[in-house]
């Protein structure tokens, strides 16, 4: 078994962290291979962590969304056991909602239900209402053995001892009769659908099927509550506790499970199988027996059908503060919902790649610092793409250039990576508030518009109808061919921007070829006298003084971004300044401990050095 190759020694020195890392590895490795994840049954995976690892997942066999998160771990002499809670959040239109409790059903009809699912670990009530079971993971590194298990109940029963009534127009309407069943959810069957996909992912990664299977059940319980809010449990004749375990690698599973089984009274079903005899008929067709072959079959099918496996390459550009990172965040979320994996390459002209730390996603970000793609780091772009493709199989790669990059200077170099990627287009995000000023003052801003295949006017909500029309006319003058779309906060349906999947329409991948024959040397930020300067802070700042300072920034400084501490705020703050407007918000990335500002503009070093920024904003 390839367990040691996947997870070498030392990983489990911390049981809690080790078990979370182990589960994350199996989930991510499978979902980073598009063909494999599709055949196994995944239809989307997103991390949702708040102190512990958690994921929301979509699978082919269910209309709703599953939530999986780490609970705890236990360490014995030979084994480490990890437990992960499993939730199921039904689709608001799904018939299965009728089997949920009244409270759960009402939650699914709220406007914030779906947004809450995306970050479900922040909402304990959501986790409690839709909990359906526990996924267990036992690991014995010494004996190269792994045991994956599912614990659930056949039917989650909730009984309303005093009934449930609703006051409607002055009359009491009975929803549940006294002693009636408020919930009778098929928890085990629902959880088993997820477990099938998860177990198939383990088989794929370990490159061998299970060598052990055990399923047993014992009498279950149901919960009862009364009108005062008290609740208790009691034995149930209509529900059974279900257990299913799959073992990979060397034997030892029977001894491990003996204590767990002996403490429970079995009732009618106890199946135990070890490698050798035929697989029990009830489990013979389960996907976890053969998913280790999927990779070979899928590769063969693609080659025979002539499918182009190269990922789509999108160049995302736009002047300083236009909203490229916001657009990219929404683009990634859209692709995640459609089970597509996006890899990101970002570059910064400053000394630190902040934007890569602002993205809230689970994907590879290769930052290219101390320069820009359009000038000195063309070689690094090729290396970055190569490194991403060595580790992952993305559906799309987005190159987010610095706000001072000129995409014209990049076009000829893209031919060097054509064997690895399918070039799609250049998307230029335009800052609606500062577009006309930027075009007039900086030649590189004009060239970003001229090079675009798609133009996106951002911050539409801050513009009047007349201002928007004036910007459109200016953009059309510079680039008559590119379609012009509008957005707020970078949020626009990517289907409107990119239309069909270029995998289905090969001709779309040549949208920018009309510009590749342009051998003119185009301007860069150096021609406009633009550069950057970084200022570090070792102490918290006075927020009032800081805001007053931002209001009097010299005109030559066009863009400021960074993370700072304030004396009156517990958490670090993200600072974003563009053309006189600024925003300060909470920054939630504990891995980033440095406090700094990056200034971008004309004669930037003289501005940065002339003002003693740390002293100017220091707390009294």
pLDDT digits (tens, 9 = 90+) for 150-169: 999 999 999 999 988 888 88
* Shared domain check, 497 and 404: yes
> Of 275, 300, 325, which residue constitutes the final position of a domain?
300
* Shared domain check, 326 and 227: no
* Shared domain check, 535 and 509: no
Confidence of residue 1 (pLDDT cuts 50, 70, 90): low
Sign of CA dihedral 94, 100, 104, 106: positive
* Shared domain check, 281 and 152: yes
- How many Cα atoms occupy the beta-carbon half-sphere of 495 within 13 Å? 4
Confidence of residue 602 (pLDDT cuts 50, 70, 90): low
The percent of residues above 70 in pLDDT, for the chain, comes to 77
* Shared domain check, 316 and 283: no
Average pLDDT over residues 198-223: 93
- Please name which of 105, 234, 237, 227 lies closest in space to residue 160, comparing C-alpha atoms: 227
Please state the pTM of the whole predicted model: 0.57
Confidence of residue 298 (pLDDT cuts 50, 70, 90): very low
- Evaluate if residue 591 carries a pLDDT over 90: no
Confidence of residue 529 (pLDDT cuts 50, 70, 90): low
Q: Residue 469's pLDDT is what?
A: 92
CATH number at residue 449: 3.40.50.300
> Highest mean pLDDT: which of 19-23, 86-90, 482-486, 555-559?
86-90
Name the CA radius of gyration of the chain, rounded: 28
Q: 538 with 453: CB under 8 angstroms?
A: no
Domain that holds residue 392: 312-515
Give the three-state DSSP class for 324: helix
Q: Is residue 109 assigned to a domain?
A: yes
Q: Is residue 176 assigned to a domain?
A: no
Spacing of C-alpha 249 from chain mean position: 32
CATH number at residue 576: 3.30.1220.10
* Shared domain check, 449 and 488: yes
How many structural domains is the chain composed of? 3
The percent of residues above 90 in pLDDT, for the chain, comes to 30
* Shared domain check, 258 and 375: no
Confidence of residue 303 (pLDDT cuts 50, 70, 90): very low
Average pLDDT over all residues of the chain: 80
- Evaluate if residue 528 carries a pLDDT over 60: no
* Shared domain check, 348 and 268: no
Give the three-state DSSP class for 152: strand
Average pLDDT over residues 481-491: 88
Q: For residue 46, what are the β-bridge partners?
A: 56
Tell me: the pLDDT tens digits for 259-274? 777 555 555 678 999 9
Q: Is residue 65 assigned to a domain?
A: yes
* Shared domain check, 423 and 286: no
Q: Which residue has the tokens 């287009």?
A: 425
DSSP for 498-553? H-S-TTT-GGGGGTTGGGTT--PPPP-TTTTTEEEEEEE-SS-B-HHHHHHHHHT-
* Shared domain check, 341 and 274: no
> Of 300, 334, 353, which residue constitutes the final position of a domain?
300
Q: Is residue 457 assigned to a domain?
A: yes
Q: Residue 257's pLDDT is what?
A: 85
Q: Residue 87's pLDDT is what?
A: 97
Query: Do β-strands 422-431 and 454-458 pair in parallel, antiparallel, or remain unpaired?
Result: parallel
> Of 483, 515, 547, which residue constitutes the final position of a domain?
515
Q: Residue 573's pLDDT is what?
A: 87
- Evaluate if residue 321 carries a pLDDT over 50: yes
Q: Residue 535's pLDDT is what?
A: 83
* Shared domain check, 578 and 608: yes
Long-range contact set of residues 347-350: C-beta below 8 Å, sequence gap at least 24: 347/371, 347/372, 347/373, 347/377, 347/400, 347/401, 347/402, 347/405, 348/372, 348/402, 348/598, 349/402, 349/403, 349/404, 349/525, 349/531, 349/532, 349/600, 350/532, 350/534, 350/598, 350/600
Q: Is residue 178 assigned to a domain?
A: no
d(CA 114, CA 116): 5
Q: Residue 503's pLDDT is what?
A: 35
Q: Is residue 165 assigned to a domain?
A: no
Q: Residue 6's pLDDT is what?
A: 65
Q: Is residue 164 assigned to a domain?
A: no
* Shared domain check, 568 and 429: no
**pLDDT top residue among 417 and 73:** 73
b or e along 509-536 (b: 16 or more beta carbons within 10 Å of the residue's beta carbon)? Answer: bebbeebeeeeeebebbeebebbbbebe
Q: Residue 513's pLDDT is what?
A: 40
Average pLDDT over residues 270-289: 92
Q: Is residue 148 assigned to a domain?
A: yes
Confidence of residue 614 (pLDDT cuts 50, 70, 90): low
Confidence of residue 500 (pLDDT cuts 50, 70, 90): very low
Give 331's DSSP letter: H
Q: Residue 66's pLDDT is what?
A: 96
């Amino acid at each position: 078994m390839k367990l040691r190759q996947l997870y070498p020694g030392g990983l489990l020195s911390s049981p809690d962290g080790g078990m979370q890392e182990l589960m994350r590895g199996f989930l991510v490795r499978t979902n980073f291979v598009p063909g494999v994840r599709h055949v196994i049954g995944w239809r989307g995976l997103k991390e949702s962590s708040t102190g512990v690892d958690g994921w929301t997942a979509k699978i082919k066999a269910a209309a709703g969304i599953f939530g999986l998160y780490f609970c705890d771990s236990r360490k014995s002499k030979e084994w480490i056991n990890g437990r992960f809670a499993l939730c199921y959040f039904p689709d608001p239109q799904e018939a299965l909602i009728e089997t949920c409790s009244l409270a759960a059903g009402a939650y699914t009809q709220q406007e914030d239900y779906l947004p809450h699912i995306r970050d479900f670990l922040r909402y304990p009530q959501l986790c409690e209402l839709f909990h359906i079971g526990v996924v267990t993971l036992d690991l014995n590194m010494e004996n190269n053995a792994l045991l994956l298990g599912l614990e659930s109940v056949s039917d989650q029963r909730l009984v309303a001892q005093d009934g449930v009534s609703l006051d409607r127009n002055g009359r009491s309407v009975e929803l549940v009769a006294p002693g009636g069943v408020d919930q009778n959810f098929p928890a085990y069957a629902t959880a088993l659908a997820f477990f099938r996909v998860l177990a198939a992912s383990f088989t794929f990664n370990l490159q061998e099927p299970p060598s052990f299977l055990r399923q047993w059940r014992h009498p279950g319980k149901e919960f009862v509550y009364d009108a005062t809010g008290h609740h208790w449990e009691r034995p149930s004749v209509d529900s059974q506790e279900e257990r299913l375990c799959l073992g990979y690698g060397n034997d030892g599973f029977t001894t491990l499970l003996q204590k767990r089984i002996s403490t429970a009274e079995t009732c009618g079903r106890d199946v135990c199988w070890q490698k050798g005899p035929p697989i029990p008929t009830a489990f013979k067709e389960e996907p976890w027996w053969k998913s280790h072959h999927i990779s070979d079959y899928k590769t063969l099918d693609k080659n025979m059908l002539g499918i182009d496996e190269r990922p789509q390459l999108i160049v995302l550009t736009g002047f300083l503060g236009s909203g490229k990172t916001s657009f990219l965040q929404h683009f990634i979320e859209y692709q995640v919902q459609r089970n597509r994996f996006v890899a990101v390459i970002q570059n910064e002209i400053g000394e630190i790649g902040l934007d890569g730390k602002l993205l809230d996603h689970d994907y590879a970000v290769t930052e290219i610092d101390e320069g820009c793609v359009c000038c000195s780091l063309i070689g690094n772009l090729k290396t970055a793409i190569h490194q991403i493709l060595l580790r992952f199989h993305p559906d799309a790669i987005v190159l987010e250039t610095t706000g001072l990059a000129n995409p014209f200077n990049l076009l000829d170099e893209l031919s060097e990576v054509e064997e690895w990627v399918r070039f799609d287009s250049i998307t230029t995000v335009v800052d609606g508030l500062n577009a006309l000023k930027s075009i007039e003052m900086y030649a590189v801003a004009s060239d970003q518009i001229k090079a675009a295949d798609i133009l996106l006017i951002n911050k539409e909500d801050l513009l009047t109808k007349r201002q928007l029309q004036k910007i459109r006319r200016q953009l059309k003058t510079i680039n008559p061919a590119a379609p012009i779309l509008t957005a707020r906060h970078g949020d626009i349906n990517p289907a409107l921007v990119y239309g069909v999947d270029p995998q289905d329409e090969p001709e779309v991948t040549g949208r920018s070829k009309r510009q590749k024959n342009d051998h003119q040397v185009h301007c860069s930020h150096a021609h406009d006298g633009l550069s950057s300067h970084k200022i570090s802070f070792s102490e918290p700042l006075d927020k009032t003084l800081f805001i007053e300072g931002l209001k009097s920034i010299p005109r030559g400084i066009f863009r400021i971004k960074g993370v700072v501490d304030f004396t009156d705020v517990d958490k670090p703050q993200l600072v974003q300044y563009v053309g006189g407007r600024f925003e300060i918000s909470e920054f939630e990335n504990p891995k980033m401990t440095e406090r700094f500002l990056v200034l971008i503009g004309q004669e930037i070093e003289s501005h940065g050095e002339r003002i003693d920024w740390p002293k100017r904003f220091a707390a009294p």
